[in-house]
Structures are given as structure tokens and as C-alpha cells.
Amino acid sequence: MDRLDAMQVLLAVVDEGSLSAGSRKLRAPLPSVSRKVAELERHLGTRLLIRTSRNIQLTDAGRDYVEAARQIVAQIKEAEQRASGEYEVPRGELRITVTTAFGQSVALPIAYEFLREHPEITLNVRSTNRLVDLTEEHVDVGIRIGQLTDSSLIAVKVGDIRILTVASPEYLERKGRPKSPDELTNHDGIQFGNLARAWTFPNDEVVRQTNVRFRADDATAAYEAAVQGLGIARVPNFMITKEIRSGALVEILEDYAAQPSPVHLIYVRQGLLPLKVRAFLDWMTPRLRQALKDCEKVGC
């Protein structure tokens, strides 16, 4: 039995939550994955997994073994990186995660330039609005919006974003410009994602919209609906730089603007940082800071 291979199979099964999901991740037949886990358990003389019809659970021995296996696999990976020169020249696969909207509007255009300047690095981008655990999901760098809660991560602040309340000039001319949040109940609303139904303003003032003209899953559709004059929307400032500059959208209720949310580059504490990670951080940090400053300069 190849114990290193068996460890990697076990980790894939645990990370994905089931034997079948682990086999898909590894692109290996399910019977082969199941056999390797069983062989490892026989070799150790103990059960590592409790298998159910829908998922798997670790035994106490399994938790201890998985923790040790992660360390072993990580040490071998680091040794391979050293041997291949990842600590001498920026090269190899770099895994990052970023929210979908911020990635498309701000971060990824900068990352494309990074790739052009570093031909030996490949980029694996996970665009998602869920919170990604960098350690558990083996991600090198995250770009995160909002307050950070995990003190085990190293964070570099690159700026702030704001949520703006906006409408088109045509809509404001037709419906009037609200002067306070409580007047929003008399206006047409545009909602998306988590910014739905009830809008919270400073001093915890909550406004529940009664006339929602347009509802979407993403901010892009929301601000496009606002540009079309369908109502009032709340949208992240980085998405509507051009619309604010051109006058297609106008910020309203400026005196009731929410507090800015910080934007950080985050990565896991580790010993020697691979050059591909250091090169990415050094490239993105000043450019993200400038991009967020530029957004503020045009009044968005």
C-alpha cells in the first residue's frame, strides 16, 4: 500500500464530505477510493471513518490521524516546492478567492496584468460570495470585504468600499428625491442578494420597502435596473464608477451613508512564504489601493 497516496485519498474524502465527492475531486473510481481508505484502516488497525448513507464522520482516531496526515502532506508539498524552485523563482499554481462582483469589477483585471508579468505562474480563481476557509480549502490568498474575525490569518488592508443609495436622474425627476430614509417607503425599490427587503441606515434605522419593482441575485442587474429608471437601489461603490461619473446614476441620502467596509488581502501564517504568493501580494497591494482611491475620487 502506498501510504502517502492513501493519506491524500483520505484527506480528499474528509474535505469533500463523502466517498463519492472525494472520488469526483480525485477523478478516481469510487470503488478505488473506498478500497484505499479501507486498506489504510486495516493497516492502522482502527476505524477512521463512520460511513452513513449520505456522508462520513471521523472517529476520534480519525481526527488525530487526519491532522497528522495534513502536516505530513504539507511538509512533502513544501519540500517539492523547494526542489522545483518555487522559493527561488515565482512559479507554480496560485489559488485565490474573491467575491464575484469585486473580482469582476476591480481585482481580476489587476490579476490579469500580474499573469502577463509572471509567465511561470498559473492562477486558479475561486469566485464566490461564501466565506472560504483558506486552510481547509488550500487557498493561497483571499481578497475579503468586511470585518475580519479569524486572527490566525495575516491581513493587509488595501482600502474601503461603501454601499451607496442611488437612482437615475430620470427617476428622481419623476418620483422626487427622498431627503431621509423614512421617505423610501413611498418609492420604488430595487433589491439584490443580501441587501433585500429591509435597508439599515446609521443609528440602526431600518426601512422596509413596500413597492419592490425589481429583484435580482446580483448587484450588476440591480444597478442596471436603476440606470433604466426602475427605482432606487443600494449598490457597492466600486461597481458604479462609470455610471456616477457619467451622471447615469446619482447618489442620494448622502447624509445617511453607511460606514465603509474594509478590504483586505489575507493569507495563512506559515514559515517561508512561496515566492508566487509574495509576488502576488506585492503586485496586488498597491494596485488595489490605487483602484479603490480612484473610485472615491470620482465621487462613487
CA 67 from chain centre, in angstroms, equals: 25
- Using 70 as the pLDDT threshold, list the residues of the chain that sit under it: 53, 81-88, 193-197, 204, 209-210, 271, 297-300
Residue with cell 448622502: 254
Q: So what's the pLDDT on residue 84?
A: 62
200 and 170 part of one domain: yes
The range of the structural domain enclosing residue 236 comes to 163-256
78 and 206 part of one domain: no
Pairing state between β 198-201 and 205-208: antiparallel
Contact assessment for residue 237 and residue 163, using Cβ atoms and an 8 Å cutoff: yes
7 and 61 part of one domain: yes
If DSSP codes are grouped into helix, strand and coil, which group holds residue 117?
helix
- pLDDT digits over 149-202, tens only? 877 789 999 999 998 999 999 999 999 999 999 898 889 999 886 555 678 887
User: Cβ neighbours of residue 32 under 8 Å, at least 6 residues apart?
Assistant: 23
157 and 170 part of one domain: no
73 and 144 part of one domain: no
Q: Which of 24, 52, 84 is at the close of a domain?
A: 84
Q: Is 85 left (phi over 0), alpha (psi -120 to 50) or beta?
A: left
DSSP code at position 258: P
For residues 69 and 155, give the distance between their C-alpha atoms in angstroms, rounded to a whole number.
Answer: 27
Tell me the residue type at 64: D
Q: So what's the pLDDT on residue 229?
A: 95
- Spatial CA neighbour of 147 closest among 131, 128, 127: 131
277 and 149 part of one domain: yes
Q: So what's the pLDDT on residue 75?
A: 79
Q: So what's the pLDDT on residue 91?
A: 84
What is the enclosing helix (H) or strand (E) of 130?
Answer: none
Total number of domains in the chain: 3
141 and 282 part of one domain: yes
CATH number, position 201: 3.40.190.290
279 and 228 part of one domain: no
Q: So what's the pLDDT on residue 123?
A: 95
How many CB atoms neighbour CB 118 within 10 A? 19
Contact assessment for residue 171 and residue 250, using Cβ atoms and an 8 Å cutoff: no
